[in-house]
Structure 1
Amino acid sequence: MDIISGQKPGASEQHPIARNVSRRNFLRFAGITGASAAIIITGCGKDETDEMDGGVNLGSGDIGVLNYAYALEQLEAAFYTRVAEMPYNNISPLERQYFEEIRDHEIAHRELFKKALANNAIRNLEVDFSAVNFSNRESVLATAKAFEDLGVSAYNGAGKLLTNPDYLLLAGKIVSVEARHAALVRDLIANGSFADNTIVDANGLDRSLNPMEVLAAAAPFVKTRINASNLPTN
């Protein structure tokens, strides 16, 4: 991934969210990070970026933040749709139900943002789940955990960037659902890990990440180039 400086992170520079995935599973993810130039942060305008590299510009202000959230919801909805279509080997009826319900939530979130953004919505992103073994429970759960923890951190970090209180209220309602997903997935992996100290600090607060950190962590799973240079920073 090339973010501003043009440097590609190596295995020693793994993102904190990525480290939440079990080491064995993340080796597969890390192996494609260097080759996956999925997100380019540039100073180009929307039209220039779209024309030059087929990417999308999230925009600025509240519209940019909503498009940022919309991009993440597209990624999650695509992942859980794939899980529901290709359930892993020996999946239990209860776990199948869990993933179908999460899929429906993520699709609803995606469509909420699409409707709110109307003509300002970015186009559909092209995803890349080649690092995920959808027939293997461990691989699916590790990816789901990474996505859910990342989603919660993303909303926590983006809330302060919104100026419209209605949008902030919407984000608050969605992040609470994402946190429920994260807790469920974590407990499917290891019972009682739903709120351990890897995500909740000594003050009882969940992790918060800024958009550049989140997009960098999501990059191995997104083929579409995303220009987030116009997003607000405070």
Structure 2
Amino acid sequence: MNKMTRTHKNSEKDQSQILAVVNRRLFLRSAGVASAMGAFILGACKDDDPVMTGDKTVDLGSGDTGVLNYAYALEQLEAAFYTQIIATPYSGITDAEKIILTDIRDHEIVHRDFFKKALGSGAIADLEVNFSSIDFTKRDSVLGAAKLFEDTGVQAYNGAGKLIKNAEYLLLAGKIVSVEARHAAVIRDLLKPKSADFAGDDIINADGFDKAIAPADILAAVKGYVKTNINGSNVGK
């Protein structure tokens, strides 16, 4: 193979890799735009307001306010996590990975800030996170945690959907969970490129749908990453 042929093939490979990154980035961005549009339909919540009890436990509240505060708490966790990744990139992070993770960070910040504004005085206080178990210098540790957070996010929205009484809120949750599902697929693809793991058996039920997990189980799963105690016993009631 002569030098010109090798150069041409390398150029084709580079272009293919760049195209793949651009496609994934546009995929995420289009999803983010779709969820942001939901902001125009969500009004102020009227259910019981959340409270901070004497032992510094955040009570998410009840009714739709409780469900939205539940989502807000999870979005706070994800936004803080991805913000940390971009602030202190892991060793060997590629430009493509940084682009993707930055886009996911931006989506999670939009979701977090949207819920805070929509909830108004009904919003819970800022949570104190605990990422001490994550080694932000190592790719496997960071992407492993990202996989957990994104899978949990999809399962959380699916599990809380049936608890939402307001049809407009349910529509919004459907838009946001579609974004979280795209995040989950992209993270899984980074861990195992070109495999079927982007929709693995561990996150799909017997009917082929993403699993739906109840709020109590989700809060237990993420408890180790949040210093603030969260009481979600009244969510959906």
The answer, yes or no, to whether TM exceeds 0.5 is yes
Q: Which residue of structure 1 lines up, in the alignment, with residue 218 of structure 2?
A: 214
Q: Which residue of structure 1 lines up, in the alignment, with residue 163 of structure 2?
A: 161
- 2:50, 2:66 within 8 Å by CA — same for their partners in 1? no
Q: What is the CA-CA distance between 1:63 and the residue it aligns to?
A: 0.2
Deviations 1:113-140 (CA, angstroms, capped at 9, x unpaired) = 1111011000000000000000000000
Q: Which residue of structure 2 lines up, in the alignment, with residue 230 of structure 1?
A: 234
Deviations 1:81-103 (CA, angstroms, capped at 9, x unpaired) = 00010100010000001110000
Q: What is the CA-CA distance between 1:176 and the residue it aligns to?
A: 0.2
Deviations 1:158-214 (CA, angstroms, capped at 9, x unpaired) = 000000011111100000000000000011111221002111123111111000000
Q: Following the alignment from structure 2 to structure 1, what is the Cα–Cα distance between the partners of residues 53 and 60? A: 15
Q: What is the CA-CA distance between 1:51 and the residue it aligns to?
A: 4.1
Q: What is the CA-CA distance between 1:46 and the residue it aligns to?
A: 5.5
Q: Following the alignment from structure 1 to structure 2, what is the Cα–Cα distance between the partners of residues 232 and 63? A: 8
Give, as a single letter, the amino acid of the residue that structure 2 aligns with 1:225: N
Pick one of 120, 123, 146 that aligns with 1:121.
Answer: 123
Q: What is the CA-CA distance between 1:227 and the residue it aligns to?
A: 1.4
Q: Following the alignment from structure 2 to structure 1, what is the Cα–Cα distance between the partners of residues 236 and 169? A: 15
Deviations 1:30-59 (CA, angstroms, capped at 9, x unpaired) = xxxxxxxxxxxxxxx955xx3421121100
Give, as a single letter, the amino acid of the residue that structure 2 aligns with 1:66: L
Give, as a single letter, the amino acid of the residue that structure 1 aligns with 2:225: F
- Counting aligned pairs with the same residue, the percent is 57
Q: Following the alignment from structure 2 to structure 1, what is the Cα–Cα distance between the partners of residues 53 and 214? A: 27
Greater C-alpha radius of gyration: 2
* Secondary structure, aligned partner of 2:209: coil
Give, as a single letter, the amino acid of the residue that structure 1 aligns with 2:215: P
Q: Following the alignment from structure 1 to structure 2, what is the Cα–Cα distance between the partners of residues 80 and 210? A: 24
Q: Which residue of structure 1 lines up, in the alignment, with residue 132 of structure 2?
A: 130
How high is the TM-score relative to the length of structure 2? Answer: 0.77
Pick one of 197, 205, 219 that aligns with 1:201.
Answer: 205
Structure with the bigger RCO (C-alpha within 8 Å, sep 6+) is 1
**Which residues in structure 2 correspond to 1:103-114 (within 5 Å)?**
103-114=105-116
Q: Mind listing any 5+ residue stretches in structure 2 that lack a counterpart?
A: 1-48
CA RMSD in angstroms, aligned pairs only: 1.3
* Secondary structure, aligned partner of 1:110: helix
**Which residues in structure 2 correspond to 1:64-83 (within 5 Å)?**
64-83=66-85
Residue correspondences, number? 187
